[in-house]
Amino acid sequence: MSKTRTIVPAGGISHVQGRTDLPLVDVTLPEFLNKAVERHGDRMAAVFCQAGERWTYKQLARRVDRLAAGLLSIGLYKGDRIGIWAPNRPEWLIAQFATARIGLVLVNINPAYKSSELEYALNKVEAKALILASKFKTSDYTGSLLDIAPEIPNSVPGRLRAKRLPNLRNIVLLGADTLSGAFSFDEVMKKGNRAVQSRLDAISSSLSPHDAINVQFTSGTTGAPKGATLSHYNIVNNAIGCARTMKLTATDGLCIPVPLYHCFGMVLGNLSAMACGATMVFPSEGFDPLATLTALESENCTAVHGVPTMFSAMLDHPEFDQFDLAAMRTGIMAGSPCPEPLMRRVMRDMGCNEITIAYGMTETSPVSFQTAVDDPIHLKVGTVGRIQPHCEVKIIDAEGKTAPVGETGELLTRGYLVMAGYWNDPDITKESIIDGWMHTGDLATLDDEGYCRIVGRIKDMLIRGGENIYPAEVEEFLLTHPGISEVQVFGVPDPKYGEEVAVWIVARDESLGEQALKDYCEGKIAHFKIPRYVKFVREMPITATGKPRKFIMRDMMGEELSLSK
C-alpha cells in the first residue's frame, strides 16, 4: 500500500487504497484514555446538558476507575460480556471506558429493543451482566427485563439465576429507581474503593489492542441480529481517522445527539473527540431538536453529528432563528443520503460549511469513506467521499472480478477496520469475510477521482431515519401471527425518514386488518420496524423460480400512495 492517498483508481479499475503516511496506533482503550488525560487532563471532556454533569478528562478518568473497580468487586472479569441498555446518559460514557479498563466486552443494546430482542442479544453473547436504565420515554426497560427474568426480585444481587437468561448474574440499574435483586449504579461505584483500584493497572497492561472489546448488534438477512465483534484497534484507529478528516482539535466542542449504542455515537462521537482532546457535548438522553440547538449555542459547539432527519428537525424548528450558531463549522452527516436543498441549509443557516458525509457499516468500525471538509457541495450530496487511511476497497461484478471505474458492483472493504467476525457465528462470518475482504452487500461505483457513490443494496436493507432495517427479520416475526400465510417487507420512499416500512400480506384470516396487525407488533419489535403501510393481497408477484419480485411491489405501492422516488 502506497504512503500517499490513492485518488485515482489504479489501472482504470475500481480498487483504491487509503494513505498510510500517518501510522496506525497500537493502543487499547485504557491507554487511549490515559494519553488524553496526559495531554488534556484539565480540559473539559464531557458535558451532559440534561443531567447537568460536566467533567474534565481527569475527572472522567477517576469515574472510570471507580466503576471499573466496582465491576471487579461484583465478580466481573476479563473476557466477560456485559450488556448496556440505556439512552445517552453520563453513565454510558463511564461504562464505555470502565468495561474496557478491565477487559470486559461491552455489548451495545439498542434502546428501542423489546423483550424478545433483549433476550436474544443477551443469550447470544452469554452476557454475565446488564447495565440498564429503568425507563426512557415510553420504554419500560425494567418491565421488559422482568418479562423474561421474573426471578430477579427474589434474587440476591450478583447471584441471579434466570431460566430464560441462564448466563446473567448481575443487574446494574441506573438512576434513582430501585429494583430488588439488582445493584444500583451508585452502589457499584462505591464498591470501587482504592484497594480494588490498585488492581486495575495490572489488568489493563495484560490487554492487547486486538482483543475483542465491543459487540454491536446489526440486523441480519437471516432474520436474527448478528453481533459484530470489534477490537480496541478497530475503533480507536477509525475514530482517529475520522477526527483528522474533520480537522478536529482540542479547541472544538463536538455535539453528540446521535445514540451511543451505535458506532456513530460511541466511535465517531466519543472516541473521535477524545482523539484530539475535544469536548463531548450531549444535549439530551434522546434526540430533541430544541435541546440540541440549545446545546450548540450554550456550549459554543463547533461540530455536530446527525442523520439528515436530525438536521432537518433542527432547521425546521420554529425557534431555530433565535439561536446563535456562529461557532459551528463541521461534523458528520451519515445514515442516509442528504438531499441537496437540506445540505445547502445546513451549510448556510447552521454555519456548517465544513460538514462531512461518511459511509460505512458496523462491521467496519464503522467508516470507510468520508468527504473532505472542503469538498464542494455536489460531492457531499452525490457521493460518500473518498477512502479513509489504511483502508482498501474494491468493487466487484457478479462474477467476482474487479469492476472497471464507473461500473456498479458490490463494495468490498479490507484493512484494520474489518471486524474480527460475528460473535458465535463462524459460518456467517466466513460468508461475509473472504480473504480478509468484508462483503458489504452494498452496490456502489467509484469514479476516476476515487469518490464513491452508493447506488443500492443487494440485501434489500432499508434505512429509516438512520436505522438499518432488514426485511427478513421483520418478515420472520410477522409470520408468527397465526392469521398470516405469506409476507413480504420492503422499503418505500419517505420525505422525512428517507424510507418507510411497507408490507404485503397474504392472510389466512380475512378479518385481519391493518390496525390489528400493528397492535400485534407493538411492544414485540422495535417501533421503527413496525410497517407503516400495509396491503393485503391474494398472492405475491414471484419469479419463475418462486422468488418474490419486491421491486414490483415497491413500484405498485409507490404509485398507489403517490410516493416520489
SS3 sequence of 521-559 = HCCCCCHHHCCCEEEECCCCCECCCCCECHHHHHHHHHH
- Distance (Å, whole) CA 260 – CA 270: 8
Q: For the chain, what percentages of helix, strand and coil (3-state, to nearest 5) are there?
A: 35, 25, 40
The per-residue pLDDT for 545 is 41
User: For the domain that residue 70 is a member of, what is the CATH number?
Assistant: 3.40.50.980
- Number of Cβ within 10 Å of residue 370's Cβ equals 26
Contact 536, 565 (CB under 8 A): no
Amino acid letter, 160: L
Question: Residue 140 — φ and ψ, nearest 5°?
Answer: -100, 90
* In a domain? residue 250: no
- Distance (Å, whole) CA 399 – CA 35: 47
The per-residue pLDDT for 2 is 42
User: For the domain that residue 497 is a member of, what is the CATH number?
Assistant: 3.30.300.30
- Distance (Å, whole) CA 230 – CA 216: 8
Contact 121, 83 (CB under 8 A): yes
**Which of 211, 226, 241 is the last residue before a domain boundary?**
226
* In a domain? residue 14: no
Residues linked to residue 506 through DSSP beta bridges, in sequence order: 486
The per-residue pLDDT for 8 is 66
Contact 149, 165 (CB under 8 A): yes
Range(s) of the domain holding residue 187: 55-226
- Distance (Å, whole) CA 283 – CA 90: 11
**Which of 204, 226, 248 is the last residue before a domain boundary?**
226
* In a domain? residue 482: yes
Extract the C-alpha cell encoding 208.
492487547
The per-residue pLDDT for 222 is 44
* In a domain? residue 90: yes
- Distance (Å, whole) CA 35 – CA 45: 13
The per-residue pLDDT for 220 is 46
Residues 6+ apart with CB under 8 A from 163: 151
The per-residue pLDDT for 395 is 97
Question: Residue 160 — φ and ψ, nearest 5°?
Answer: -65, 140
Q: What single-letter DSSP state applies at residue 165?
A: S
- Distance (Å, whole) CA 37 – CA 53: 18
Contact 256, 88 (CB under 8 A): yes
Residues 6+ apart with CB under 8 A from 561: 492, 533
* In a domain? residue 78: yes
The per-residue pLDDT for 6 is 54
* In a domain? residue 246: no
- Distance (Å, whole) CA 477 – CA 534: 15
Extract the C-alpha cell encoding 211.
482483543
Mean pLDDT, 10 residues at a time, over the chain (565 residues)?
Answer: 56 94 97 98 98 98 98 98 98 98 97 91 98 94 97 98 98 96 98 97 98 87 78 98 98 97 96 98 97 98 94 95 98 85 94 97 97 96 95 94 94 98 96 96 92 80 83 83 88 91 91 94 94 93 64 89 75
* In a domain? residue 544: yes
Contact 507, 494 (CB under 8 A): no
**Which of 226, 255, 270 is the last residue before a domain boundary?**
226
Q: Provide the domain count of the chain.
A: 2
The per-residue pLDDT for 550 is 83
The per-residue pLDDT for 462 is 83
* In a domain? residue 36: no
Q: Which of 357, 376, 387 is nearest to 268 (CA)?
A: 357
Amino acid letter, 52: G
